[in-house]
Chain A
């Protein structure tokens, strides 16, 4: 029963599996995102208060969602790596960080663009925006720590400790920011907190969320492949895999 799990721990197996899955996932993700975009921008009715301005949530909400779930993936992979000494789990964590940081950045930028017409300013020290900004710094810290070590093994273990400390701290940081925010200013928007969103508006959002998730997994698969190649560069199977990719470079002895 555990063989599939052990197989995942084998670099050549994962390399091939990720290579097979990545294009499929990417195509499904592209189709879903296209459907969600069409549904969100064209089919969904305009909001009675915000007009067409609300449509940016079709990018904003999935990005914000991904920014948090990718950190959870990173911390889980780091814990698996530290506990079971699974090197490939570290590769997954390392490959996830820049993707997560990008989604966080996207969520911040789309939030600012949405805030400009709605709040009349690009930036408000709103609880969610602020904790999203802190999350971006946490991602940068993770990536900065990795970059500080030249040895991959050391970078793996150090950044794993940081990711786990971060996952304990992030909820505390989030709630302290929420608490701070409610004391300092009245909540500007309750619209998005209101779960009563009509079906016409909801389904493109759900399609987008699924599409963003698949997109992340496809990018992750591709990035993990290149991580694995870099980490295993002295292994025999890497030479063979590269020979298959670039037959003209094959050294004929």
Chain B
């Protein structure tokens, strides 16, 4: 069973590395959205420090959403998703492998890129650390929640807007706690409370998410 899980992870990683442009576009989107806000609001450091945590989190949410399009689409189109569903191994496990691979190629680079972009918002080094940690705990939850929506809309053409409508309300708690932890750290206060809540959400998403996604995959394959 572990072997099947690792095989799925390895396969998805290999496919992703052969199509680097798919991997790069959500990251570029993340960087561009973050560049837009100082231009639209104000380049004043005080203002940037104020809006920075929120802007970074909203941009991370939108970039995750953009990356979700590649999670099941091509596997659905070429039939390999159907083969996964037919295999003797439990589908939630295999789907979890796909989500893990997806997070490794879309979530982790985003986490690594974020402190660099946060520097441009004049956030303190303490805030940078908390932001990175919060994104590290929060992005898996985003990927897991998003995977349910991505699986439900795998067979739908032009699903982008619909996917946003399905997934963004579900991601709201992660945004609230993540942005709050970062804001607290930027104000030199203790961010542990919201970080624990983020971790609780991640635990819940890891335990329930793969089952919901597997059910959604089965519906899409009917």
Q: Which of A145, A173, A180 has a CB less than 8 Å from the CB of B153?
A: A145
Q: How far is the CA of A169 from the CA of B144 in the complex (A)?
A: 13
Q: Which of A140, A165, A172 has a CB less than 8 Å from the CB of B201?
A: A172
| 17 cross-chain CB contacts under 8 A | A140-B165, A141-B166, A144-B165, A145-B152, A145-B166, A148-B156, A148-B162, A154-B219, A158-B152, A158-B216, A158-B219, A162-B166, A169-B170, A172-B201, A173-B169, A173-B172, A173-B173
| Any B CB within 8 A of the CB of A125 | no
Within 8 A of B (CB), among A146-195: 148-149, 153-154, 157-158, 161-162, 164-166, 168-169, 172-173, 176-177, 179-180, 183
Interface size class of B (residues with CB under 8 A): 20 to 34
Residue-wise, chain B 165-186 has the 8 Å CB interface mask toward A (1 for contact) of: 1101110110011001000000
Residue-wise, chain A 113-146 has the 8 Å CB interface mask toward B (1 for contact) of: 0000000000000000000001001101100110
Besides the contacts A141-B169, A148-B153, what 18 more A-B pairs have beta carbons closer than 8 Å?
A: A82-B215, A134-B172, A141-B162, A141-B165, A144-B165, A145-B153, A148-B156, A161-B148, A161-B152, A161-B212, A161-B216, A169-B169, A172-B201, A172-B204, A173-B172, A177-B176, A180-B180, A183-B180
Q: How far is the CA of A166 from the CA of B170 in the complex (A)?
A: 7
- Could you say which residues of chain A place their CB within 8 Å of the CB of B219? 154, 157-158, 161
Known pairs A144-B162, A149-B156, A158-B220; A165 contacts B169 (CB<8 A): no
| Any A CB within 8 A of the CB of B208 | yes
A149 — nearest CB in chain B belongs to which residue?
Answer: B156
| Any A CB within 8 A of the CB of B136 | no
Chain B interface mostly helix, strand, loop or mixed? helix
Contact between B173 and A176 (Cβ–Cβ < 8 Å)? yes
- Could you say which residues of chain A place their CB within 8 Å of the CB of B170? 165-166, 169, 173
- Could you say which residues of chain A place their CB within 8 Å of the CB of B208? 168
10 tightest Cβ-Cβ pairs between the two chains A and B: A176-B173, A157-B219, A141-B165, A141-B166, A176-B176, A180-B176, A148-B156, A158-B219, A137-B169, A161-B216
Q: Identify which of A161, A162, A166 gathers the most chain B CB atoms within 10 Å of its CB.
A: A161
Residue numbers of A with Cβ under 8 A of B are 82, 134, 137-138, 140-141, 144-145, 148-149, 153-154, 157-158, 161-162, 164-166, 168-169, 172-173, 176-177, 179-180, 183
Contact between A179 and B176 (Cβ–Cβ < 8 Å)? yes
A-B contact count, CB below 8 Å?
70
Chain A interface mostly helix, strand, loop or mixed? helix
A180 — nearest CB in chain B belongs to which residue?
Answer: B176
| Any A CB within 8 A of the CB of B16 | no
The distance from the CB of A97 to the nearest CB of chain B, in whole angstroms, is 13
Within 8 A of A (CB), among B141-166: 145, 148, 152-153, 156, 159, 162, 165-166
Contact between B222 and A154 (Cβ–Cβ < 8 Å)? yes
Q: How far is the CA of A145 from the CA of B165 in the complex (A)?
A: 9
Q: How far is the CA of A166 from the CA of B168 in the complex (A)?
A: 12
Q: How far is the CA of A166 from the CA of B145 in the complex (A)?
A: 11
The distance from the CB of B104 to the nearest CB of chain A, in whole angstroms, is 24
The distance from the CB of B29 to the nearest CB of chain A, in whole angstroms, is 22
Q: How far is the CA of A164 from the CA of B148 in the complex (A)?
A: 11
Q: How far is the CA of A154 from the CA of B155 in the complex (A)?
A: 10
Contact between B169 and A138 (Cβ–Cβ < 8 Å)? yes
- Could you say which residues of chain B place their CB within 8 Å of the CB of A165? 148, 170, 212
Residue-wise, chain B 53-75 has the 8 Å CB interface mask toward A (1 for contact) of: 00000000000000000000000
- Could you say which residues of chain B place their CB within 8 Å of the CB of A137? 165, 168-169
The distance from the CB of A105 to the nearest CB of chain B, in whole angstroms, is 16
